[in-house]
Structure 1
Amino acid sequence: MTLPPRRHATELETIAVTVPPEAVEAYENALSIVCATIGIFEVDDAQTAWRVEGVRDLGNGEDELRTALVLAAALTGVDAPLERTPTESEGWLARTYEAFPEQTAGRRFAIRGTHLEPGANPQRITLVLDAGVAFGSGEHGSTRGCLRALEMIAHRRPHRILDLGCGSGILAMAAAALLKRPVLATDIDPWSVRVTRRNARMNGLSNLVSCHLGNGWSTPAIRRHAPYDLVFANILARPLCSMAADLAHNLLPGGTAILAGLLDTQVRMVLSAHRRQGLVLERRLREGDWATLILRKPDA
């Protein structure tokens, strides 16, 4: 299928940073403050460096961008210089489409971009995402690990499900589609909330996926619906550690937590924080350099 070119009324600019894998998510979130589209590309085959780039209207949100980059550097310890280049919208979109073929994860899921011909594999649950929203597309190891973990615990039939830091909403949608249960999704980023709601509508899951803006466990919607018997937290290692007590408090006895966004080298730190709160490791999954942990709260 040949897609018609997308025209843009104002001049565009590509902004980009090159960072190690552990800093990808923080800088991705920073650029998303001012960019309507985000792309993530491998710089080398060893996946030791990734290029995170976004397209924005020239000069849009300069002060907000500067603040977001300072916060990303403080959070990750990686001070990445910002690259700026004038951009033609058609060329950037073509590159994004090429970088986002259909993805499969585990035995049950497939993720397709809206730029691909419609199609479905009857053996898999197919989720459709906008190719311009590359984060949470199913390609990243942390997302793939979470989808595999979801398959492994699906037989428990959890009823109260939370996706904390939902990004594109892919995990919330996967849980809703697989388990046929309502899922609460939250994110601190307003753009992620809008994207998740749009993706849920596009996949016919708006009746099951409810998305709210909020800051972690202090989000009113999270407090209203707690406790949970399944929590996804695909965030970063340090925030996971700092929220371990809140997670344990809001998890039902016998409940499951799926934690991701951490490198394999950070597993010991994250595990230690959660074991101190009484949670037990059930399974450790690995996708490249990225780890996913399946934890469980012992029955009362």
Structure 2
Amino acid sequence: MSWKITAFARRPVIEGALLAHEDAWDWDPDIVISGSEIAEDKPDDWQLEAWLPRKPGKADKAALAGLFGGSPPPFEIEKLPDVDWLTQSQQGLEPIRAGVFHVHTPDHPALSEGGIRDYCIPASQAFGTGQHATTAGCLAMLTHMKVQGVVVRNLADIGTGTGLLAFAALHLWPRALATASDIDAVCVGVVEDNAELNGVAMGAAPGEVTMLVADGMEHPLLEARGPYDLVIANILAGPLIGLAPDFAKALIPGGHLLLAGLLESQEAQVRRACRLAGLRLAARLVNGDWSILWLRKRVGIRGRKARTGALAEWAQRW
């Protein structure tokens, strides 16, 4: 990506633009955007960044301006060096501890500690090295689910990226069938390399990871291997809302759904879509500005509630 457009505004304005982007079904896939706070000491001052593989034209600028509802902030446009910015941004990241997991890049040593599963995830073109709040939050929630007695025999990780969450789930439930998928074909090689590096078996048998290229739940093998005890999806709020009925359909009664990639401000919309699909909240945690949701598919006749109990009170802030 050789060009970047940056817009600075207050957090609600940038979040509104991100929501508009998720709803833009005709968005140019060559334009990749993200939003973030500018500095930790200024949590309400945010920026929207857009990366393009070309010099921005009038149509590109108009598309970005349209995300702000007709009142866009000023844009800063800059040409960037020829660098893989996703990989570059992940290099040198500090290791993280989340639940029973320790995740680090090759720049840091493994953690030799009893009861801790160590993963080395190199910086790559796929999302999910563990340092992002959503991935770390999923690792913590998966650990909590295991502690709460959840049993998983068949799982799917949708939008797997580096494969880390599929690996982690298989560590917690080592006899499960595990299916990982991503819409980006580059993730196939990334997952295979990371599996070899971390001693994770690839294949179709219990205890192995099967990797697919799929858009959401649309793949014959994803359908054939269901229904699932656990579906993980760390993607974006818009796709989570759209996929809620498909996730519910893919789960066994009482099955578990772990969602991430949504801002706390987007949580109500995601939970509403899940509720309409027959999914009920079991627990949630908030890591920074990001919500991580554990939901369960309703069991039995109408009105019967899934057993959530005190779980819904767990880790309102993490």
TM-score bracket for this pair, using the shorter chain length: 0.7 to 0.9
The amino acid across from 1:116 in the alignment is H
User: Which residue of 2 is the match for residue 219 of structure 1?
Assistant: 219
User: Which residue of 1 is the match for residue 312 of structure 2?
Assistant: none
Q: Name the CA shift for 1:34/1:73 in 2 (closer, same or farther; >3 Å).
A: closer
In the TM superposition, 1:1-300 aligns within 5 A as 15-16=3-4, 18=6, 23=18, 43-45=38-40, 46=42, 49=46, 83-86=78-81, 96-98=90-92, 100-106=93-99, 108-133=100-125, 135-154=127-146, 155-180=149-174, 181-207=176-202, 208-300=208-300
Q: Distance in 1 between matches of 2:103 and 2:118?
A: 6
Which sections of structure 1, spanning at least 5 residues, go unmatched? 1-12
- Secondary structure of 1:206's match? coil
State the Cα distance separating 1:214 from its structure 2 match.
1.0
Contact kept in structure 2, 1:193 and 1:213, CA below 8 Å: yes
Larger Cα-atom Rg: 2
Matched pairs, number: 268
Q: Name the CA shift for 1:298/1:53 in 2 (closer, same or farther; >3 Å).
A: same
Q: Distance in 1 between matches of 2:184 and 2:110?
A: 30
Point out which structure has higher relative CO (alpha carbons under 8 A, 6+ apart): 1
Percent identity between the aligned chains?
Answer: 31
Deviation string 1:235-256 (CA, Å, 9 cap, x unpaired) is 1111111111111111101100
Q: Distance in 2 between matches of 1:209 and 1:236?
A: 23
- Secondary structure of 1:218's match? coil
Q: Name the CA shift for 1:176/1:75 in 2 (closer, same or farther; >3 Å).
A: farther
Aligned Cα RMSD in Å?
3.9
Higher-helix-fraction structure: 1
Deviation string 1:134-174 (CA, Å, 9 cap, x unpaired) is 73122222112211111121222201100011112111111
Q: Name the CA shift for 1:196/1:88 in 2 (closer, same or farther; >3 Å).
A: closer
Contact kept in structure 1, 2:3 and 2:54, CA below 8 Å: no
Deviates more, 1:232-241 or 1:109-118: 109-118
The amino acid across from 1:137 in the alignment is T
Contact kept in structure 2, 1:197 and 1:206, CA below 8 Å: no
Deviation string 1:58-95 (CA, Å, 9 cap, x unpaired) is x9x759x99xx89x969976998764223589xx95x7
What TM-score comes out, normalization by structure 1 length? 0.74
Contact kept in structure 2, 1:109 and 1:124, CA below 8 Å: yes
Q: Name the CA shift for 1:264/1:210 in 2 (closer, same or farther; >3 Å).
A: same
Contact kept in structure 2, 1:230 and 1:251, CA below 8 Å: yes
Q: Distance in 1 between matches of 2:296 and 2:126?
A: 30
Contact kept in structure 2, 1:286 and 1:292, CA below 8 Å: yes
User: Which residue of 2 is the match for residue 3 of structure 1?
Assistant: none
